[in-house]
Chains A and B, each alone.
Chain A
Amino acid sequence: MSFETLSQFNWSVMTPEFIILGVAALLTIMDLFMPKGQDRRILGWIGIAAIAAAMVSVASLAGGAVVSILDDTFRLDSFAIAFKLLLLGGAGLVMFLAVSYEAKDGMEEYRGEFYYLFLTALLGAMFMASSGDLITLFIGLELLSVSSYILAGIRKHNLKSNESAMKYVINGGISTAITLFGMSYVYGLTGSTNLLAIAQSLSGLTDGQHVYLLGLSFLMIFVGLAFKLAAAPFHMWAPDVYQGAPTPVTAFLSVVSKTAGFVIVIRILLTVFGAATTKGPGSMPILLDMQDYIAFIAGATMIIGNVVALKQSNIKRMFAYSSIAHAGYILVALTSLSSNMFYSIWFYLLAYLFMNLGAFAVIQIVTEKNGSAKIADFAGLYRRSPGLAVVMGILLISLAGFPGTAGFIGKLNIFIGAFAGTPHYVLASIMIATTVVSYFYYFGVMTQIFFRPAANEDRFKIPASILVVLIVAVVGSVLFGVMPNIALDFMNNNLDILADFFS
């Protein structure tokens, strides 16, 4: 590729990625030249500024036509913009948590890395959102994963943190390998890695043998990516990793990494398997044929996530299972494949971002103060810090999906999709029933906070950066619960995902 071709590309569509990439590089160098004893929080603040700038630039790109550059490997469509906003928003809030995270257990020396690894992980996720090619998708996935592995183990002298990183590497590595193997079938059958080219060459598929092979490849890709989503029965790593990783990293994994997981699942499944036919042009696509498998995983994920969460005594493990359960709810939207699927998944992830990150902010404050992460440590929080208790109460109510919060509207969206068209009564019923099960553990935390006496009356000092997260989380959860149209209209007016996803 000559310089002329390169310079003809419309590079401006990559501005957000360039900002993150540039700042990540800048932070690496700054970290290298900063005196050893100097406070590295400043790097975190620069990272936050970079994320904010990238968000502005993504927002300014909204509403335009689809642009694809670099031989169609990088595409900027509405889908990419919508989900990049989520990824950036989530990562921004996580950075606020990270800035006030107290370094210990051998993490002191790696404070700088702590910040720029978040940025590289974010960069990987953003590339996944924007990629039109299996190769770039995979590279984005790896960039995200490898950065996350290091982050999980960054508390070097902490046994749990080491365990967490180790488990994550092994499980993540295996799942990536499975995904890649599945992708290889697709490449083998079509001779291309470009998603749209693959879709085109598969849209007339008639050969039963090929359909069979593609079915296998579908299962392998989906299973591999199900690891990333922490969907049952491939969720085993999540509780251990979540428990051992530093709290901001756990928050990152449960929100940003999960969002990225859904991004890649939607990209691959919809473009490749949504187009691949089973019996020649116009027949049922493989994706629809395989719907039952997705439904099964969704159901199992909701049941296992919610039921096992009941028994947890560690708050981070409980939230690990809770996040598994939420992945299950979103998979219901994916299963129903209705025309509002993008919107319901996007809105649910938005709601989930606010409520989960807010909850992790509270968890970080409480666990750092007590030095342990038992649910019982929340006892008497209402007496010790009424404001914090009420905030956590609102976020838990939103997670449980009560009206007046974004979590409720998110669930309504999913239900509309599940009941319209061919109704999925069983799956929707499982979703509602397990939601009721989730009341047990969310309200169990509330019982501790509001009903139990406190072990001591120490007050909490809430750092300014965490305060920002708490305010954003509560305002977001309530605002999008009462006036969801702010977000829904934005989607409808600016981002016509359905129209340009497949073009």
Chain B
Amino acid sequence: MNLHAILSILVFSPLLGIAVLALMPKDQEKSIKLVGFLATLPALLISLAAYAHYLAGKHLSDFSVSVEWIHFRGMNVEAPYFAVNYELALSGFQLLLVVLTAVVATLASIAARYVKKEWKGFFMLFLLLEVGMLGVFTAENLILFFIFFEVTLIPTFFLIGKWGYFEREKAAYSFLIYNGLGSAVLLIVIMILFAKTGTTNINILKDILADPSAPVSGDLKLGLLIALLVAFGVKLPIFPLHSWMLRVHVQAPVPTVMIHSGILLKIGAYGLIRFGMGLFPEQFDTLSTLIAVLGVINLLYGAFLAFIQTDFKMVLAYSSISHMGIVLIGLAAMNEAGVQGAIFQVISHGLISALLFFIVGVLYERTDTSLIGNLGGMAKGMPVAAGFLLAGAMASLGLPGMSGFVSEFMAFLGLFKEMPWLAAVGTIGIIMTAAYLLRAVLGMTFGKSHREFTGVVDLKGVEFVPVVVLMLLIVLIGVYPSVLSSPLQATLETIMPGLGG
């Protein structure tokens, strides 16, 4: 069987949904929501099938596809063309992110039941966003990566600006401008590499840059890496480039924020690992102390500020900043445990934050508030939701047996080996994480109740699907981490030699 077309089908399958939606009348709420949900399923099924393909012991390279696409005119006779091919491929790391994307997108489309208006436009943009995300994780050259990266930008702008909460337009603009600047810096890096080497294929670039006679000097490489750090630092976000993300997390509608914190932030981590570490390993090593310090700052800054928030959404937003610090810490360790921990954290946080933001969305839907004070005593009115909230918070603070523990443990294990002092400072963040999450969650579930919860319905019906699926995945990773670590093995083996570790 020819598998080369599979990835293209996977990436562009949501477009089918867009086409169907375009033909539907815009006031049929129920069927539009159904179509929107169904349209995410092909990508989910194909990505799971790809995972099964891998489990069956076959090669992921079966899926690679490369077709000639654009020939820019080159600069001289020896290189008459600068070719950009249409190239998609999967490695273990990319496979995991694609599965994560497909899962979260499907669950978010269920959460889209709370969308109140213009469902048709919402789902069309939502599905376009899914195309962008799947493309980002499968693209094999930098230009294609950038194209998909920008494709995520425009739908997200509209999803926030039109369907968000009160200050939605402001949030949408700060999203657009910060990310626009980030991608502008990224574009500079890509175009410099392209103009100097004549290719943007990631694997070829890796070989060219590893060659000391390459037309890219060490200083330029260091500059490019710093630029990448800024570009993806906006996305991740790294302190002090994070302020846009707080607004987005508070103002965006539930499905968008699930996607945003679950997947879009992870593009930053993915980019740092694949391009930062993958293309410039030596320079990454030079900067590793800086990156570790940034990671610890992120971890502590997020944790301390999360501790004083009154809005649970803000707690989660700062918590995301804090958890992304752990990704940086793991990467800065530059050893196998650290990098593996960072990747684990990327995936684990994707699941956990999607779960928590979904529950917050449910609460907001029922009570019109997400302030911790106003939600006190919800365990009485909504025991099931409160239970899942507590479980999600436990996963987030790293309770053993859940995914958060594995990733934090490995990331710190890595850093303790390389920079024990920084790691020791970082552990304060772990303690703070437990403190702020318990403060917030206990305040909501068992806190003093300021309101009656009569008439407030607990989780019901289809709402159980996202909650249960995410929870199961979190526990699965926690007790059986090799679902992640075995596909990652090959990826780590290709990154590690470059690091000399």
Contacts and interface: CB of A to CB of B under 8 A. Distances in A.
B142 to A, nearest CB: 11
Given A412-B72, A421-B75, A451 B162 contact: yes
Interface string A408-452: 110011011011110100001100110110011001000100110
B187 interface: yes
Given A415-B195, A429-B188, A439-B177, A492 B75 contact: no
Given A340-B72, A432-B184, A450 B158 contact: yes
A234 interface: no
A402 interface: yes
B384 interface: no
B151 A404 contact: yes
A273 to B, nearest CB: 22
Nearest to A342: B73
Given A440-B177, A451-B161, A420 B154 contact: no
A412 B191 contact: yes
Contacts, number: 93
B194 A416 contact: yes
A272 B206 CA distance: 44
A188 B75 CA distance: 36
Contact of A443 (B76, B157, B185): B157
Contact of B169 (A429, A447, A484, A489): A447
Contacts of B157: 443
Interface string B152-178: 011001100110000001000100110
A128 B243 CA distance: 52
Contacts of A439: 176-177, 180
Contacts of A419: 191-192, 194-196
Interface in B298-352: none
A436 B180 contact: yes
Nearest to A414: B191
A34 B187 CA distance: 58
Nearest to B84: A412
Given A397-B154, A403-B150, A443-B157, A415 B191 contact: yes
Contacts of B181: 433, 436
Contacts of A420: 75, 195-196
Contact of A416 (B153, B169, B188, B195): B195
Contacts of B450: none
B272 interface: no
B453 interface: no
Given A340-B72, A343-B73, A403 B151 contact: yes
Interface in B236-257: none
A492 B180 contact: no
A291 interface: no
Contact of A435 (B147, B158, B169, B184): B184
Given A340-B72, A423-B195, A440-B173, 13 more contacts: A402-B150, A403-B146, A408-B150, A415-B187, A416-B195, A419-B191, A419-B196, A420-B75, A428-B188, A429-B188, A433-B181, A450-B161, A450-B162
Shortest 7 CB-CB contacts between residues of A and residues of B? A419-B195, A403-B147, A415-B191, A420-B195, A432-B184, A340-B73, A436-B180
Interface of B: 69-76, 82, 143, 146-148, 150-151, 153-154, 157-158, 161-162, 169, 173, 176-177, 180-181, 184-185, 187-188, 191-192, 194-196
26 contacts: A339-B73, A340-B74, A343-B73, A397-B154, A402-B150, A404-B150, A412-B191, A416-B82, A416-B191, A416-B195, A419-B192, A419-B196, A420-B75, A420-B195, A428-B191, A432-B187, A432-B188, A436-B180, A439-B176, A439-B180, A443-B173, A447-B169, A450-B161, A451-B169, A488-B72, A491-B73
